[in-house]
Amino acid sequence: MLDKRKKWLTEACTECGTALSFEIKEKLHQEQTPFQKIEIYSTKSFGMLMVIDGFVMLTERDNFIYHEMLTHPALFCHPDPVSVVIAGGGDCGSLREVAKHSCVQDIFLVEIDERVTRLSEEYFPVLCEANDDPRIEFIFEDAIEWFQAKKSGSVDIIIVDSTDPVGPAEGLYSTAFYKDCFRALKPTGLLVQQSESPMVHLESIIQPMHDSMQVAGFSSIDLICFPQPCYPTGWWSATLASKSKQLSFAREKFAKQLEIQTRYYNHAVHLACFATPQFMSKE
């Protein structure tokens, strides 16, 4: 909701009983695609801001936390990530982070709405710095259908960089989709998916997601926690599921040296982000 008089954009979170507001300089773009409504704003203190169907997707100021934590923990947990698929992620922020890993040879971005990518290229060019990387293939299709046809045992890591579990993204949170991901992964494969806020979505989204992943066959499921100022509660998560065994820091040597450039993620953050808060402990 945009207060035109005061120039504030407000997103209300009914589950939280709270709202988050951004002071707006101007509205730069709005369009209705076949899939969703996309708006682009210039803000006073958070830079460029993208809104999809009324929900804040990313800001120029703090998106690096989300994109780094959705990608690097999984990439450093895998012993040899060669083939990576990003489902969703049309803003290309996660794509940029994956491309920093020289060991990755093939990167597929499967995004249903090409307009998200084209608008990101125009308004968030920093996120799209890796888009010309020859290892990357853009596939503007429904990721659910794409995975149904994907060859078994052909992918090392699947990153589901989706919007909230409504509209076009709803099917990306289903047991059927996780089964297709499980089949597409190699024996040492990993699946990581954004899983909303532990503060308010633990019972409604996170626990059902973990149950569905377990039903699909994943043997080890862990929650990654990190701050995200532009999202409800400011506390966000990703879920990392392993096809074969308990997660380990497979590339710890490289993470300690951290030859890639990051702003939030490092070796210490990797170790800390898997810690389970007391109220979520099963003991």
The two three-digit tokens of residue 91, written as one number = 């803003």
> Would you please indicate which residues are annotated as catalytic (active-site) residues?
161
Map the chain to HEC letters. Answer: CEECCCCEEEEEECCCCEEEEEEEEEEEEEEECCCCEEEEEEECCCCEEEEECCEEEEECCCHHHHHHHHHHHHHHHCCCCCEEEEEECCCCHHHHHHHCCCCCCEEEEECCCHHHHHHHHHHCHHHHCCCCCCCEEEECCCHHHHHHCCCCCCEEEEEEECCCCCHHHHHHHCHHHHHHHHHHEEEEEEEEEECCCCCCCHHHHHHHHHHHHHHHCCCEEEEEEEECCCCHHHEEEEEEEECCCCCCCCCHHHHHHCCCCCCCCCHHHHHHHCCCCHHHCCC
Cα separations in angstroms, 146 against 131, 169, 255: 21, 14, 32
